[in-house]
């Protein structure tokens, strides 16, 4: 990393004139007094500001013309964090952690103030030493991507790696994952690895580990405790229950979605309580019965990306749907209004899709409740045009399941049969 990464023009000249580089700990007097670490900037940043990481972990941009003075407290090369050896306790259960990116498995580079991935089990234990008292953790980096960059091919890679541990001495597997698309990944794994004998927990963090309000460590500790003590299998998302630090929620991977952009309790089980809650260091089971119908593990790590999610809205142009049909898509998931409706202007194109043997499934834009297409005439019309109601399946889950079904089914009827077969609690009871 350059001593002035991201700085150019006036900001670069300002830092050079003050003999300050990225990673230096400084005290700045402007409208207020600030103390922190000079941070690198993004490539396309302006040349009017410098960025400072405060002791709270937050970053602040300071306009250079308003800076009265800047004093170097410690140079970058003296601000180091020692990775201490954390000895594992003999006899503890073993957990495998697969890192895909995000902030959950990360550390702070105290030279630059940047958040970087944890690459070894030793670094992970050093960052969250409490983990070494719960389990013996092996860490492996699969890739390092922001969650918005994780694509179906990444789902395949994760599933293929997990399948290698079908017969192992691990008590469970953690997948460190960015939060924005975590429920897409958990959905695919729920179908592709249905019946996998070990519990699998996807864990993320809404607040990065350099912030005082970070949820990273508690989510990770909750996931490890859950895997060690849950006595079940299946795919789960393990995150904060709410803004407080008292409860960690364990959501079934096909019944959960991210419902808030930034709150620590962003994830919620749709239509029910989370399957498990970790409260006061005890695991409480909420849901009754078997979560996962498939008992015998037979991996089906296949998919077909030629599936579309169509969110209907007033004014939706049917020609957009015709483009999808002409592009050779094998399945279309409609996110309809209310009980499962789309405007009658869509009917002629939907008829074409049905005639071409494209599977069409209906979900609802409503957060809760079931699709009921027999209540109104418009719903019955859509049934006659070949659209299949998908009960209370979450639209994103239906999209992923349709990709998986299209990869494992040869034709419309086989895809339909797979879509209506309850595999991993994608329909609620």
CATH number at residue 210: 3.40.50.1170
pLDDT (0 to 100) of residue 42: 73
How much is the average pLDDT of 25-32?
A: 92
Range of the domain at 366: 307-420
179 is catalytic: yes
Q: How many domains does the chain have?
A: 3
pLDDT digits (tens, 9 = 90+) for 206-265: 866 656 557 778 889 999 999 999 989 999 999 988 888 889 999 999 999 999 998 888
Q: Helix %, strand %, coil % for the chain, to 5?
A: 30, 25, 45
Q: Which of 100, 103, 232, 363 is catalytic?
A: 103
366 and 270, same domain (yes or no): no
| The two structure tokens encoding residue 307 | 């599936």
Nearest to 333 by CA among 391, 255, 411: 391
Of 24, 48, 78, at which residue does a domain stop? 78
Q: Which of 258, 330, 401, 416 is catalytic?
A: 258
On the question of pLDDT at 121 being above 60, the answer is no
Say which DSSP state 219 is in: H
Say which DSSP state 234 is in: E
Residues 86 and 129 sit within 8 Å (Cβ to Cβ) = yes
pLDDT class of 23 with cuts at 50, 70, 90: confident
pLDDT (0 to 100) of residue 6: 84
Maximum pairwise Cα distance, the chain: 75
- Helix axis angle for 182-192 and 395-408, nearest 10°, is 40
Number of other residues whose CB lies within 10 A of the CB of residue 33: 10
Say which DSSP state 429 is in: -
Interior angle at CA 159, CA 108 and CA 429, nearest 5: 105
Average pLDDT of the chain to the nearest whole number: 88
The residue written with tokens 């405007």 in the block is: 343
The C-alpha atoms of residue 93 and residue 90 are separated, in whole angstroms, by 9
pLDDT (0 to 100) of residue 85: 59
pLDDT digits (tens, 9 = 90+) for 252-304: 999 999 999 988 888 999 999 999 999 988 999 987 765 555 567 888 999 99
The C-alpha atoms of residue 384 and residue 396 are separated, in whole angstroms, by 24
CA distances from 369 to 199, 272, 339, 387, 401 (A): 28, 11, 8, 18, 19
258 is catalytic: yes
β-pairing, 33-39 with 49-54? antiparallel
Query: Is 299 a member of any domain?
Result: no
Nearest to 301 by CA among 211, 427, 195, 174: 195
48 is catalytic: no
On the question of pLDDT at 72 being above 80, the answer is yes
How much is the average pLDDT of 83-107?
A: 75
Query: Is 3 a member of any domain?
Result: no
pLDDT digits (tens, 9 = 90+) for 384-393: 999 999 999 9
146 and 245, same domain (yes or no): yes
On the question of pLDDT at 176 being above 80, the answer is yes
**For the domain that residue 31 is a member of, what is the CATH number?**
2.30.30.520
116 is catalytic: no
* Of the listed ranges 266-280, 293-307, 308-322, 372-386, the one predicted with least confidence: 293-307
The C-alpha atoms of residue 295 and residue 364 are separated, in whole angstroms, by 29
On the question of pLDDT at 323 being above 80, the answer is yes
pTM (2 d.p.): 0.85
Query: Is 2 a member of any domain?
Result: no
Query: Is 84 a member of any domain?
Result: no
98 and 72, same domain (yes or no): no
Of 49, 78, 107, at which residue does a domain stop? 78
The C-alpha atoms of residue 329 and residue 308 are separated, in whole angstroms, by 7
160 and 278, same domain (yes or no): yes
Q: Which of 53, 100, 112, 179 is catalytic?
A: 179
On the question of pLDDT at 80 being above 60, the answer is no
**For the domain that residue 339 is a member of, what is the CATH number?**
3.40.50.40
| The two structure tokens encoding residue 261 | 């952009």
On the question of pLDDT at 374 being above 90, the answer is yes
| The two structure tokens encoding residue 314 | 């007033």
Q: Which of 138, 180, 272, 381 is catalytic?
A: 180
């Amino acid at each position: 990393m350059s001593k002035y990464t991201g700085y150019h023009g006036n900001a670069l000249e300002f830092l050079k004139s003050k003999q300050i580089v990225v990673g230096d700990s400084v005290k700045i007097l402007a409208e207020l007094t600030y103390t922190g670490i000079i941070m690198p900037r993004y490539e396309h940043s302006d040349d009017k500001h410098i960025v400072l990481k405060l002791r709270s972990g937050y970053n602040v941009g300071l306009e250079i013309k308003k800076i009265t003075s800047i004093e170097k407290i410690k140079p970058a090369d003296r601000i180091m964090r020692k990775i201490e050896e954390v000895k594992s306790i003999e006899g503890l259960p073993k957990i495998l952690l697969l890192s895909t990116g995000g902030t959950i498995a990360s550390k702070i580079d105290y030279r630059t103030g940047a958040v970087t991935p944890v690459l070894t089990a030793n670094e992970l234990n050093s960052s969250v030493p409490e983990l070494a008292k719960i389990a013996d953790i092996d860490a492996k980096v699969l890739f390092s991507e922001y969650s918005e960059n994780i694509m179906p091919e990444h789902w395949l890679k994760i599933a293929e790696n997990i399948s290698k541990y079908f017969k192992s001495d691990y008590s469970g597997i953690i997948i460190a994952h960015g939060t924005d698309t975590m429920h897409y990944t958990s959905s695919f794994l729920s179908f592709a690895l249905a019946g996998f004998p070990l519990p699998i927990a996807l864990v993320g963090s809404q607040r990065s580990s350099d912030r005082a309000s970070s949820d990273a460590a508690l989510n990770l500790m909750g996931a490890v405790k859950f895997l060690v003590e849950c006595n079940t299998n299946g795919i789960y998302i393990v995150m904060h229950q709410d803004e407080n630090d008292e409860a960690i929620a364990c959501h079934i991977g096909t019944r959960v979605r991210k419902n808030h952009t930034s709150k620590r309790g962003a994830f919620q089980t749709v239509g029910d309580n989370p399957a498990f809650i970790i409260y006061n260091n005890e695991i409480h089971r909420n849901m009754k019965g078997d979560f996962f119908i498939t008992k015998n593990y037979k991996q089906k790590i296949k998919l077909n990306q030629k599936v579309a999610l169509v969110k209907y809205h007033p004014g939706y142009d049917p020609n957009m749907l015709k483009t999808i049909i002409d592009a050779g898509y094998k399945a279309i998931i409609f996110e309809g209004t209310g009980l499962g409706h789309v405007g009658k202007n869509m009917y002629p194109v939907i008829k074409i899709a049905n005639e071409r043997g494209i599977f069409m499934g209906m979900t609802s834009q409503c957060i809760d409740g079931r699709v009921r297409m027999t209540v109104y005439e418009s719903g019955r019309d859509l049934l006659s045009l070949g659209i299949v109601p998908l009960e209370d399946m979450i639209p994103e889950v239906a999209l992923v399941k349709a990709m998986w079904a299209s990869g494992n089914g040869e034709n419309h009827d086989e895809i339909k049969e797979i879509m209506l077969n309850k595999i991993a609690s994608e329909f609620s009871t």
